[in-house]
């Protein structure tokens, strides 16, 4: 019951991340928190994000920082980049998407969804980049955003956890790892995302 009094803040990079988290992730956290709020950090100054995090910690609420791996060679390297930018952040509260958020969008598309969208469903989406995603967009879509919105209509959680390792890690580690404390990052010395 105490969990319902906690708030969860999810820091994401940009508008494509907000769209995905608003539609797919946020509803899976809402039952466990007083509120779930998405904060776009790409354009925020580091000091402002640090103030946010310090305030969240002071109120004993929870946060997760989600970032694409981009050009970093490993999850650990990307986490170090985030921690060097946001000094108040905790290593365990940083989630790295492999490769980019677009890989999570495509992860949830099965053959039926792919047919409806006019694409071929990828067997795995772990290494899909933004550029790859754009190449998947059929010519009749007026924009990337229009395609993303349709992709989310056909998104299957059970398919996504099979097709994308970092998405599966996120779901297991943050959403369903500890049913008694849904959404609270697991504290341990061993981080399964490192493998």
DSSP 4-66: GG-EEEEEESSHHHHHHIIIIIHHHHGGGSSEEEEEE-TTS-HHHHHHHHHHHHHTT-EEEEE
Tell me: the pLDDT tens digits for 81-126? Answer: 999 999 999 999 999 999 999 999 999 999 999 999 999 989 999 9
Backbone φ and ψ for 100, nearest 5 degrees, come out as -140, 170
State the pLDDT at residue 193.
55
Backbone φ and ψ for 8, nearest 5 degrees, come out as -120, 130
d(CA 56, CA 39): 13
Tell me: the pLDDT tens digits for 14-71? Answer: 999 999 999 999 999 988 899 999 999 999 999 999 999 999 999 999 999 999 999 9
State the pLDDT at residue 176.
62
Q: What's the predicted TM-score (pTM) here? A: 0.88
State the pLDDT at residue 192.
44
CB 52 within 8 A of CB 8: no
Query: Is residue 183 scored above 80 in pLDDT?
Result: no
State the pLDDT at residue 184.
38
The two tokens of residue 110 are: 């099965």
Query: Over the Cα atoms of the chain, what is R_g?
Result: 17
Site of tokens 């097709």: 163
State the pLDDT at residue 191.
43
Backbone φ and ψ for 177, nearest 5 degrees, come out as -65, -40
Ranges of each domain in the chain: 2-97, 103-159
State the pLDDT at residue 187.
34
Q: Please, which pLDDT band fits residue 5 given cuts at 50, 70 and 90?
A: confident
CA geometry: angle at 47 spanning 101 and 82, to 5°?
Answer: 35
Burial class of residue 131 in the structure, from the number of CB atoms within 10 Å of its CB (0-12 exposed, 13-18 middle, 19+ buried): exposed
State the pLDDT at residue 4.
55
């Amino acid at each position: 019951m105490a969990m319902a009094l906690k708030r969860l803040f999810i820091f994401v990079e940009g508008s494509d991340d907000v769209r995905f988290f608003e539609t797919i992730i946020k509803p899976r956290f809402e039952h466990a928190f007083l509120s779930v709020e998405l904060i776009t950090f790409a354009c925020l100054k580091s000091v402002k994000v640090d103030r946010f995090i310090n305030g969240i910690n002071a109120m004993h609420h929870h946060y997760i920082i989600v970032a694409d791996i981009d050009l970093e060679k490993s999850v650990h390297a990307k986490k170090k980049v985030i921690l060097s930018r946001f000094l108040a952040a905790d290593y365990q509260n940083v989630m790295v998407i492999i490769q980019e958020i677009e890989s999570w969008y495509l992860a949830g598309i099965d053959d039926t969804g792919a047919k409806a969208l006019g694409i071929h469903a990828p067997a795995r989406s772990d290494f899909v980049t933004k550029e790859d995603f754009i190449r998947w967009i059929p010519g009749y879509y007026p924009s990337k955003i229009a395609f993303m919105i349709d992709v989310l209509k056909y998104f299957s959680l059970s398919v996504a956890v099979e097709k994308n390792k970092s998405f599966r890690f996120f779901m297991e580690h943050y959403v369903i790892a500890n049913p008694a404390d849904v959404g609270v990052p697991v504290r341990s010395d061993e981080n399964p995302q490192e493998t």
